[in-house]
Amino acid sequence: MLPETVIHCPLCKFQGTIVYHGVNRNPCCDWANGTDSLTGCGNTHDECCPYPGVKSQKQCQHDGCTAYVHKQCHQQWLTRHRYDFPDDLKILCRNHDANYSRWVRFKAREITQSENGTIPMQPGQLTDRVPINKLWCDWAMGTMTNNGRRNPHQECCVFSHIRYVTCQHEGCTKYVHQLCHRDWLEKHCYAVPTNLPTLCRDHTESYGLWVRFTAGDIPRSQNETIPGSVAAIGEFRRQV
């Protein structure tokens, strides 16, 4: 028996008794804008819900609103569109998020870039929209994979809902997550220093060694993985 809770469901365009979708029977995340898009491709403002099976939906914290959202989806949309947000960000639906409203008005040419309030991608550079493949964590190798199975060296982004930082190599402007950097090193049996800098793939020495090793350019002894680790096994290259 479904609970008698009133919610606006964007998938059904229906307001009334709550409607559930999918095997997990979860209420719809408002940040999907009435679609089942995981990436936002095809939606007007890249609205998406990458977590359709996750049961962590919360009711919008705007007084009187009954829409359900994932906090991660809210944060991810803001990050992709270059809006800053506080650590104690309120969980809001699209209709009650001021940044989303500004973006819609900006795209409709009702306000200027300066009034939109986005963070420039680089100092002095203003863009009306940062393409997803330019902002996605560099450790995903230009893809949106969270497991790396189809990438040549298992490159992936496992923390897409967390804000990115710029690679700490001087002059580099690529966006990365330190946790994705650490995750890749650990999976490939490289030692992770306590003071690990946040670096992209191109500026990570261990990544360069792995690429050369898998290409057959250097022997296993020069790969510098942790001694005695699984990387020392001859079949590791095909099992990762």
Confidence at 232, pLDDT banded by 50, 70, 90: low
Helix (H, G, I), strand (E, B) or coil at 107: helix
In the prediction, which pLDDT does 149 show? 74
In the prediction, which pLDDT does 18 show? 34
How many separate helices (H) and strands (E) can be counted in the chain?
7, 6
21 compared with 90, residue with greater pLDDT: 90
- Asked if pLDDT for residue 186 goes beyond 80, the answer is yes
Confidence at 126, pLDDT banded by 50, 70, 90: very low
Helix (H, G, I), strand (E, B) or coil at 12: coil
Phi then psi for residue 211, to 5 deg, are -60, -40
Separation in Å, CA 133 to CA 145, 175, 207, 214 = 12, 10, 20, 26
Mean pLDDT of 93-117: 89
* Residues 30, 208: Cα–Cα separation, whole Å: 41
Mean pLDDT of 13-38: 56
Q: What is the pTM of this model?
A: 0.47
58 compared with 5, residue with greater pLDDT: 58
In the prediction, which pLDDT does 17 show? 32
Take residue 43 and report the two structure tokens written for it: 């939606």
- Asked if pLDDT for residue 67 goes beyond 60, the answer is yes
Instruction: Confirm if 50 and 31 have CB atoms less than 8 A apart.
Output: no
- Asked if pLDDT for residue 1 goes beyond 50, the answer is no
Instruction: Confirm if 123 and 100 have CB atoms less than 8 A apart.
Output: no
Q: Give 143-194 as a DSSP string.
A: S--SS-TTSTT----S-TTSPPEE-SSTT---EE-HHHHHHHHHHTT----T
* Residues 99, 78: Cα–Cα separation, whole Å: 8
- Asked if pLDDT for residue 22 goes beyond 50, the answer is no
Confidence at 64, pLDDT banded by 50, 70, 90: very high
Mean pLDDT of 66-72: 88
In the prediction, which pLDDT does 11 show? 39
- Asked if pLDDT for residue 128 goes beyond 50, the answer is no
In the prediction, which pLDDT does 161 show? 62
Confidence at 217, pLDDT banded by 50, 70, 90: very high
Q: Domain locations in the chain?
A: 6-116, 136-239
Confidence at 205, pLDDT banded by 50, 70, 90: very high
DSSP summary character for residue 62:
S
In the prediction, which pLDDT does 185 show? 92
* Residues 105, 25: Cα–Cα separation, whole Å: 34
Mean pLDDT of 220-230: 81
* Residues 76, 16: Cα–Cα separation, whole Å: 28
